[in-house]
Structure 1
């Protein structure tokens, strides 16, 4: 592997690993709080979290904006990317997500609005970018 690709591969690997851990946490929460939900949605959550970790891990770098004289730091890019990806996900599955959580008899029924997933994406993006930034030390 060439030296200039090593940091990108490391960022992708740590992002996917962190996304996998967050996805496993989500999988366990779904199993215990929504026991009648299908396995396709459970594993879809896990695989989505891995892809979210990959994309946030790669994209949460310190960049200078080409138009505005602003430098976006990793602690800003991570939550922005995580929130954006979950927002686009909620544009497609928001109604089904709301119906599933409204049927829940646990604490999840309080979070049935799809906008909570945008906040969840921002928090996950911050965690992923924090882990990637600390491990890669770019």
Structure 2
């Protein structure tokens, strides 16, 4: 399956890694954020699965016609992950802030929900690396 790049391989790897990270978040959340209910846990699970798929999908389109150059995977994947988590943070800012403030006793540094943007960049980098490494890039996955 991993012998030659393909679109299906790229999507399966991106979605699979996103799902695994979502499962980790699902089971880790009750210990880190006890105030989070089951709906938030399922939201994390489904969000990172979707994030993995979107990063795998965006990785196929590496030529950006607007700026007229190719964006490398190590820039494209973290920016996509950070952007999607930024939008999620804007939509659920108060909920995330309440969860973080009820959890951390480390002061005000880590209570900002905007840390989820950094987390999205790191997760995007991880997913983008494996999706590009095993699923291919540029025209290779499309031609197979």
Whether the TM-score (by the shorter chain) exceeds 0.5 is yes
| Partners of 1:98 and 1:104 in 2: CA distance | 10
Assess if the C-alpha contact under 8 Å between 1:11 and 1:132 holds in 2: yes
Indicate the residue corresponding to 2:136 in structure 1: 137
Tell me the SS of whatever aligns to 2:92: helix
Indicate the residue corresponding to 2:140 in structure 1: none
Indicate the residue corresponding to 1:8 in structure 2: 7
Assess if the C-alpha contact under 8 Å between 2:17 and 2:52 holds in 1: yes
- Whose helix proportion is higher, 1 or 2? 1
- Structure 1 unaligned spans of 5+: 1-5
C-alpha displacement of 1:62: 6.0
1:40 aligns with 2:39: yes
Moved over 6 A (4+): none
CA RMSD of aligned residues (A): 2.1
- Structure 2 unaligned spans of 5+: 138-144
TM-score (structure 1 length as normaliser): 0.85
TM-score (structure 2 length as normaliser): 0.82
C-alpha displacement of 1:106: 5.6
RCO (CA 8 Å, sep 6+): is it higher in 1 or 2? Answer: 2
C-alpha displacement of 1:12: 1.3
C-alpha displacement of 1:132: 0.6
Equivalent pairs counted in the alignment come to: 133
